[in-house]
Homo-oligomer: A and B are copies of this chain.
């Protein structure tokens, strides 16, 4: 009896100390966000769902936050990072595939002809993805991605892609986690491509990454089980696929959802339709000097219908130029 009471008192004391420590340590959340309506809206929402005496309080297990990746957490211009990876892989694998020299879309990649590549359309891109993302085990693929991320450089910023991540969004992810949120990535990008860096770069563990996938097959290789990656689409986690992916992997409706393009519209709608207070945000690429400026007419990462809906429904539209003090950590 005495032991139990003692334990209970220790636990209470410990909780109070942790609470104080967290407050003291988190003196300035969202440091790279300029003071203003956007930052204020985030702080207000987090306060309203985490303050125990608020009528809008949400218990910790239900604090699910989902983030798109390309254009929301890291740059997606001048091309999706995963496409840059696929193109480099085609070049690396070309010596073993002499037929690629004359076979589109591979010939376009090898000739550096991005226009011809674009003309091959979605079918051509899918062919590139399958030729570069399938045919090896899951472990081999993870090693290939990691090695590429270590050596590849962003063409404009001349730094590893894992540094072309938005500092204000890293701070938002951290701030949410400090407030009991579980942070997820929900991206049209490849799930296994993102898992190779998500924990290190975003603090998001592999089990909290949802993305597009190809099928895998369990088989024995020299008496050891492997999962072989097959050239077959398993799931496309984009547009209406995002709520499907969220329900499949999480089984709970997000409390907060952040995207940057029309590919995120349904994910935001799905979050918005939940009971009680919800937070929907869009990153609007408005800063051509420090990053890129694009929206309604972009070839990819297009923000058009989702922007209209955000304005109509009063979702947060983050103006990168105005709202962000710093876009990348490496800025002077």
Contact = CB atoms under 8 A, between A and B. Distances in A.
Contacts of A250: 206-207
Interface residues of A, number: 51
A225 B266 contact: yes
Q: Is chain A's interface secondary structure helix, strand, loop, or mixed overall?
A: helix
Contacts of A138: 247
A251 B11 contact: no
A217 B243 CA distance: 9
Interface string A61-82: 1001000000000000000000
Interface stretch (A15-23, A106-114, A168-176, A289-297): A15-23
A218 B21 contact: no
Nearest to A11: B21
Nearest to A9: B21
Q: List 6 tightest A-B contacts by C-beta distance, closest first.
A: A206-B251, A7-B24, A14-B17, A218-B240, A10-B21, A11-B21
Interface of A: 3-4, 6-8, 10-11, 13-15, 17-18, 20-21, 24-25, 27, 61, 64, 138, 182, 191-192, 195, 199, 205-207, 209, 213, 216-218, 224-225, 227, 234, 240-241, 243-244, 247-252, 266, 269-270, 273
